[in-house]
A and B are shown apart, each in its own frame.
Chain A
């Protein structure tokens, strides 16, 4: 019950501070730009003799570009939304009046996690499903395995949310943001090292990339999602920059899920033990 009170307050705070509405407005501008570009592309196809296979591949490539940008925006949104929630309230003392109520600290954290996850799910649904709806409406295609791809992007966001909340129990807002973004940057670079290593058949580079993914598997989830959502032909021929040459395994996805739960548990444990 008290988890839902905290979740509601977290959600209302983002709405009242206009964070959510601004994010959706920026997302709408993003979708409008994508729709315009896609419209021009489809219009160009009508004036040229292009096979349906090439047409489909180009449209899927455009969709993947849109999804790649949406994934990056989701990562940034996740960290920005949650970076101040615990560290800021602890530093300002705001949490004191709440934590002295008959509410367990894990309920406070779980409520915040739930509120943010609900908000981020809405945002992701708007962006990812919006991109696919536009591509379907204008070009007649949607990403293959969309539900699985969406689930993986969602897990990536929840993983970063849990990591940011954990750091928020220990570090200041700024340190928390630097750490979370820095770690994701590490995973991002590691992902590309793994891709290039696979292309050039350099096992040491591939292993280095995998180690980076083990440190924080957020980028690996996107690479798996892009692998699932790209067209099979693009994947086989490596026609676009999102075709994962070295595809993170289902085992890595399972590891990422456990990683998310572990960081959430660590955040509960740390908040329970620390002085406020």
Chain B
């Protein structure tokens, strides 16, 4: 039985007559990087706020590190980077980290070591005495990450951590997340950048209207190599039509044949059919569904803005 870092049961939030989170039920294991995906207005941010004790649930129950959400003691083991990181802009980068460290109750001696360490990690050492008002969006995101990591949290909540970052910054975030996983921390990642999620998450939850629609291991996408692209010649209409036994969404243009197999196991059967019907097959490549494809499939093209 895995040890849970986050556990929710029918977590619900209602604002007046609007249901923001209908009934969120999920478990996140300790040490995993968990992606929380959904279109705008799906209730992701509200769910995150409830888990962090910023918003009070209307119903349901949730625990973080085995204690009910909102418990003050737990927060010393939690780090959080809000989506639109705003902070006291009159502070310098050094002062900001020092202030957050003190709020975490860290000793002065520990902070003397940890603050320069974190500034170095996020590449802001040359800017440590600059006021945050002079920081670019990317620099603010980096210092925001540093404040979330200053206490070496056991659970790290990141809300759109790569927003506003250039490719170097995004790489830094990915590396930092991997580092957290290596040291055994749990990362709860809310992001729209599915390519990033795909690279670092162990599991993802698709959220729609405040409910978990699907929960997937990232490795399971590998098992679903159902998209096939083939380069073929000498194919007649009957041959293409015959593929519908094993596949759907079949298109044939020029010499390129595309189809979605009913399951990965159908690939040899479809290939055998083509060859048996006299087609010349130059390429037959099954590929897996990307996270973005799955996102659109589950959550709908019109809502996935």
Q: Could you show 14 A-B contacts with beta carbons less than 8 Å apart? A: A1-B105, A9-B99, A92-B86, A93-B86, A94-B87, A94-B88, A96-B54, A97-B80, A99-B53, A101-B103, A103-B103, A275-B54, A275-B56, A276-B55
- Interface stretch of the complex, out of B68-76, B227-235, B264-272, B279-287: B68-76
CA distance A2 to B91 in the complex (A): 18
* Cross-interface CB contact of A101 among B84, B88, B100, cutoff 8 Å: B100
Q: Is B52 an interface residue (CB 8 A)?
A: yes
Cβ–Cβ contact A100 & B78, under 8 A = yes
CA distance A92 to B88 in the complex (A): 11
Q: Is B7 an interface residue (CB 8 A)?
A: no
Q: Is B294 an interface residue (CB 8 A)?
A: no
From 236 to 271 in chain B, residues with beta carbon under 8 angstroms from any chain A beta carbon are none
Q: Is B210 an interface residue (CB 8 A)?
A: no
Q: Shortest beta-carbon distance, A91 to chain B, in Å?
A: 10
Q: Shortest beta-carbon distance, B67 to chain A, in Å?
A: 12
Q: Is A102 an interface residue (CB 8 A)?
A: yes
Those 4 A-B pairs whose CB atoms lie nearest each other, nearest first? A101-B103, A275-B55, A102-B76, A102-B75
Which A residues lie within 8 Å of B105 (CB)? 1-2, 102
CA distance A1 to B80 in the complex (A): 22
Cβ–Cβ contact A5 & B80, under 8 A = no
Cβ–Cβ contact B75 & A100, under 8 A = yes
From 28 to 67 in chain B, residues with beta carbon under 8 angstroms from any chain A beta carbon are 49, 52-56
Given contacts A93-B82, A101-B103, A102-B105, 9 further A-B contacts (CB under 8 A): A16-B91, A92-B86, A93-B84, A97-B86, A97-B100, A99-B53, A102-B74, A102-B103, A276-B54
Q: Is A273 an interface residue (CB 8 A)?
A: yes
Cβ–Cβ contact B82 & A9, under 8 A = no
Q: Shortest beta-carbon distance, A207 to chain B, in Å?
A: 41
Which B residues lie within 8 Å of A25 (CB)? none
CA distance A139 to B49 in the complex (A): 62
By beta carbon, the residue of chain B nearest A10 is B88
Which B residues lie within 8 Å of A273 (CB)? 56
CA distance A93 to B82 in the complex (A): 8
Q: Considering residues B73, B75, B90, B103, which has the most beta carbons from chain A within 10 angstroms of its beta carbon?
A: B103
Cβ–Cβ contact B88 & A9, under 8 A = yes
Q: What is the predominant secondary structure among interface residues of chain B facing chain A?
A: loop
Q: Is B144 an interface residue (CB 8 A)?
A: yes
Q: Shortest beta-carbon distance, B112 to chain A, in Å?
A: 17
Which A residues lie within 8 Å of B82 (CB)? 93, 96-97
Cβ–Cβ contact A5 & B87, under 8 A = no
* Cross-interface CB contact of A100 among B52, B73, B87, B102, cutoff 8 Å: B52
CA distance A66 to B57 in the complex (A): 53
Q: Shortest beta-carbon distance, A114 to chain B, in Å?
A: 16
Cβ–Cβ contact A100 & B80, under 8 A = yes
CA distance A96 to B51 in the complex (A): 13
Q: Is A199 an interface residue (CB 8 A)?
A: no
Q: Is B85 an interface residue (CB 8 A)?
A: yes
Cβ–Cβ contact B90 & A100, under 8 A = no
Cβ–Cβ contact B54 & A5, under 8 A = no
CA distance A99 to B72 in the complex (A): 10
Which A residues lie within 8 Å of B147 (CB)? 97
Q: Is B104 an interface residue (CB 8 A)?
A: yes
1/0 per position for A97-109, CB-CB distance to B under 8 A? 1111111100000
CA distance A202 to B73 in the complex (A): 60
Q: Is A47 an interface residue (CB 8 A)?
A: no
* Cross-interface CB contact of B102 among A5, A93, A275, cutoff 8 Å: A5
Which B residues lie within 8 Å of A100 (CB)? 52-54, 75, 78, 80
By beta carbon, the residue of chain A nearest B79 is A100
Which A residues lie within 8 Å of B78 (CB)? 100
Instruction: Decide: A97 near B87, CB < 8 A? Known: A5-B103, A102-B105, A275-B49.
Output: yes
Which A residues lie within 8 Å of B73 (CB)? 102
CA distance A5 to B98 in the complex (A): 11
Cβ–Cβ contact B54 & A13, under 8 A = no
CA distance A17 to B133 in the complex (A): 12
Cβ–Cβ contact B86 & A94, under 8 A = yes
Cβ–Cβ contact B75 & A101, under 8 A = yes
CA distance A99 to B103 in the complex (A): 10
CA distance A96 to B102 in the complex (A): 16
CA distance A99 to B85 in the complex (A): 13
Instruction: Decide: A104 near B56, CB < 8 A? Known: A93-B84, A94-B86.
Output: no
CA distance A5 to B85 in the complex (A): 21
From 69 to 103 in chain A, residues with beta carbon under 8 angstroms from any chain B beta carbon are 92-94, 96-103
By beta carbon, the residue of chain A nearest B82 is A96
Q: Shortest beta-carbon distance, B1 to chain A, in Å?
A: 28
From 161 to 176 in chain A, residues with beta carbon under 8 angstroms from any chain B beta carbon are none
CA distance A104 to B91 in the complex (A): 22
Q: Considering residues A92, A97, A103, A275, which has the most beta carbons from chain B within 10 angstroms of its beta carbon?
A: A97
Cβ–Cβ contact A13 & B88, under 8 A = yes
By beta carbon, the residue of chain B nearest A18 is B90
CA distance A182 to B73 in the complex (A): 41
Which B residues lie within 8 Å of A276 (CB)? 49, 54-55
Q: Shortest beta-carbon distance, B193 to chain A, in Å?
A: 20
Q: Shortest beta-carbon distance, B189 to chain A, in Å?
A: 16
Which A residues lie within 8 Å of B91 (CB)? 16
Which B residues lie within 8 Å of A16 (CB)? 90-91
